[in-house]
Amino acid sequence: MSTTELLHLSAGEAGRLLQARKLSPVELAEAFLQRIDAVDTRVKSYLLVMAEAARTAARQAERDIMAGRWKGPLHGIPYAVKDNYYTRGVRTCAGSRVLMDFVPEYNATAVDRLDAAGAILLGKLNTWEYGTGNGGVYFDLPFEPACNPWDLARFTGGSSTGAGASVAAGTAMVAMGSDTTGSVRLPAASCGLQGMKPTYGLISRHGILPNCFSMDTPGPMTWTVEDNAIMLRAVAGHDPADPASAGRPVPDYLANLEAGVRGMTIGVLREFGPESQYLDDANRAQLEDMAAVLAREGARIVEIQLPAQISEYRRVTTVIGHSESATIHETDLLARGAEMGFALRDKLMSGAMIRSLDYLAAQRRRRELAAATDAMVCSVDALIAPCAFHVAPPFADNDVLRTLTSQNCCPPFNVSGHPAMTVCTGFDADGLPTNAQVVARWFDEATVYRVARAYERATAWRDRRPAL
């Protein structure tokens, strides 16, 4: 198999070959490490490549598999994590000068679970500082921003910038990001990936640099829906180290993956108040095409409405998110604020000015919005909605670039906690990925995957890769 063929395998395909001993974990890891060497000076998906540790882990995986100790579909699969995931003994700086000397003493629970599954950690991925920001890119961090593999002069979307870039560029087979108000879904949208923000509490937040205690949601970013389901199955489940961790059993997300959508009622969110005007033509057209595809696959398509304007959800996420970030990082802001980048400092200073009255009002409004949003979600089996309103913007104009983060339909499902997955819905006239998101009921990621897979199977978008 050529290097290109290796790099273009999905994790599902590679896992089956690894299990059958038709592919070596060492060969697979080496292909990705060579890919990193070949393209990452241009893509900048990594902040730290763990080449020797990856080679060591790959050799161990090969010994284990050959000895009959196969651990499952992730055994030998190369992955990478956003550099806000703690990794024992390995620098975790979250893109910041302030944390440049931080070496955690323990792994994030998600990393432990992926390691236990036999996956091979390639390194730490680029990120906005502290995994957050104000939507802009200011080139004032110790690392250059990641570049979009579909057009290196364009933004990846944030804050899981490197995770989006790595899977699209082939510098990682699968990746883990984190989403507070869109930070998995927006880079997935901009980089043409399938990116899941699961139900809040499904994946442990333990060992991930906190941004907002009550909304942070880790999530897998992958090329295919099957890969996403494989990753989620490995990392999901109760963790006593995370106070918000859900105690529900984790289903087999692959069991009904190919069940299709025949007989399902799927809602389409076409109009959502004044912000509807910002949805660009290409994304709007592909959302309609997605509805048509699902209808041809046998779903009943119905119109649905959000119970409130996106701006109302966004106001709640801003007050909660900024307040909690400022609380978490108060010491850093006071002692080392001058060393922070403009975007992080902006956010923390804003959060430091929010009154408790307003924060609690936001949490009370959140409960109300979550209940109303749940009523909408439960009126159908699943729904599709816009996610990013724009294709990947160019770096050249920061005001335009910021609209990717300020104009989208991510906040409703961070407020409510419902699972929401970005899927690639095609490409615009310039070859840039378009997107939509699939949403289902709390803890019903299986239905999200089922709908997303039905759409993926009926389209050819996964056959097209960036021409790096």
368 binds another protein (CB under 8 A): no
Instruction: Let me know if 197 is a catalytic residue.
Output: no
Judged by CB, which is closer to another protein: 318, or 403? Answer: 318
214 binds another protein (CB under 8 A): yes
> How many helices, marked H, and strands, marked E, lie in the chain?
16, 11
d(CA 172, CA 125): 10
Catalytic residue selected from 96, 166, 178, 183 = 183
Q: At what angle do helices 225-235 and 109-116 cross, to 10 degrees?
A: 110
Judged by CB, which is closer to another protein: 67, or 338? Answer: 338
363 binds another protein (CB under 8 A): yes
CB of 3 to another protein, least distance (A): 41
- Give the HSE-up count for residue 345: Cα atoms under 13 Å, Cβ half-sphere: 16
Sequence-ordered alpha helix ranges (H) in 301-355:
310-328, 330-336, 342-351
Closest CA to 187 of 50, 366, 43, 373: 43
Span of 9-17, 32-40, 203-211, 256-264 interacting with another protein by CB under 8 A:
203-211
82 binds another protein (CB under 8 A): no
> What tokens were used for 332?
């850093």
Judged by CB, which is closer to another protein: 353, or 396? Answer: 353
CB of 248 to another protein, least distance (A): 6
Catalytic residue selected from 10, 44, 45, 82 = 82
Instruction: Annotate each residue in 437-466 with x if it binds another protein (CB under 8 A) or - if it does not, as one string.
Output: -----xx-----------------------
Within 308-347, the residues that bind another protein by CB under 8 A are: 327-331, 333-335, 337-338
Closest CA to 177 of 242, 80, 258: 80
Q: How many other CB atoms are there within 10 angstroms of residue 297's CB atom?
A: 17
d(CA 364, CA 214): 13
Q: Are 239 and 111 in contact (CB under 8 A)?
A: no
Let me know the angle formed at the C-alpha of 206 by 81 and 252, rounded to the nearest 5 degrees. 75
Catalytic residue selected from 10, 24, 96, 159 = 159
CB of 105 to another protein, least distance (A): 12
Q: Collect all residues with Cβ–Cβ distance below 8 Å to 138 and sequence separation of at least 6.
A: 341, 342, 343, 398
- Give the HSE-up count for residue 383: Cα atoms under 13 Å, Cβ half-sphere: 29
Instruction: Annotate each residue in 120-139 with x if it binds another protein (CB under 8 A) or - if it does not, as one string.
Output: --------------------
Judged by CB, which is closer to another protein: 362, or 391? Answer: 362
> What tokens were used for 15?
């896992």
Using the 8-state DSSP alphabet, how is residue 148 labeled?
Answer: B
CB of 359 to another protein, least distance (A): 11
Instruction: Let me know if 82 is a catalytic residue.
Output: yes
244 binds another protein (CB under 8 A): yes
Judged by CB, which is closer to another protein: 335, or 396? Answer: 335
210 binds another protein (CB under 8 A): yes
Using the 8-state DSSP alphabet, how is residue 394 labeled?
Answer: B
Instruction: Let me know if 44 is a catalytic residue.
Output: no
Catalytic residues: 82, 159, 183
Q: Which residues bind another protein (CB under 8 A)?
A: 199-201, 206, 209-210, 213-214, 243-244, 246-248, 327-331, 333-335, 337-338, 355, 363, 366-367, 370, 417, 442-443
